[in-house]
Amino acid sequence: MSTAASLSRPSLAEHSTPIKEGGTVPSVTFRTRARIESDDENPFDWKDVTSEDLFRGKRTVVFSLPGAFTPTCSSTHLPGYEAIYEELKAGGIDEVYCLSVNDAFVMRQWGLAQGLEEDKTVGANGFAKVKLIPDGAAMFTRGMGMSATWERERGFGERSWRYSAVIDDMKVEKLFVEGGGVSQDYGPDPFEVSDAKTMLDYVKSSAK
């Protein structure tokens, strides 16, 4: 393989070796946008949110996908979790997060395009139900061992492999990884185990 063809590939093997169940999620800082008191057309300011803010002391569901506005992510993956949000909460889940290697501006516009209800409370960090988490620099994705590229297939640089997980107080309780592991520049887009129904079935069966 030529150097040019591999420039966007993950630099370390562990970045594409999925975390194991029982493992601790990476401690990173997400650069997000929080609503402020303003009449401006863009009433937001930067807010750093850490992994600990999202996961410590909580039992949460995370599903991660290759990109905002992409077909399966928009038609099925995000809408599926939005539809079962209340059922997941009733099953003992404190919060539901959708993560993608996109910046905060893209993630908000995607949520609006998807018709998600925006939380307009001052200080709010996104949407009322499923929260969209921008992993713009792929730091969390690398730490989870889910870094993938589709440079020839789709012109994507580094993105997240599709997966879902239950994270209980910073620990991976359950992990569903599409295709059984991360593949680079992979033609198919498997979507069989990280879907909303599979997650809901697991949460119901493991309710605490």
Pick the catalytic residue: 54, 73, 146, 175? 73
**CA dist., res. 15 & res. 17, Å (int):** 6
How far out from the chain centre does Cα 8 lie?
Answer: 20
For the sheet containing 95-100, what is the strand order? 131-134, 95-100, 59-65, 163-168, 171-177
Report the Cα 134 to chain-centroid distance in Å: 8
73 noted as active-site residue: yes
Would you please indicate which residues are annotated as catalytic (active-site) residues? 73
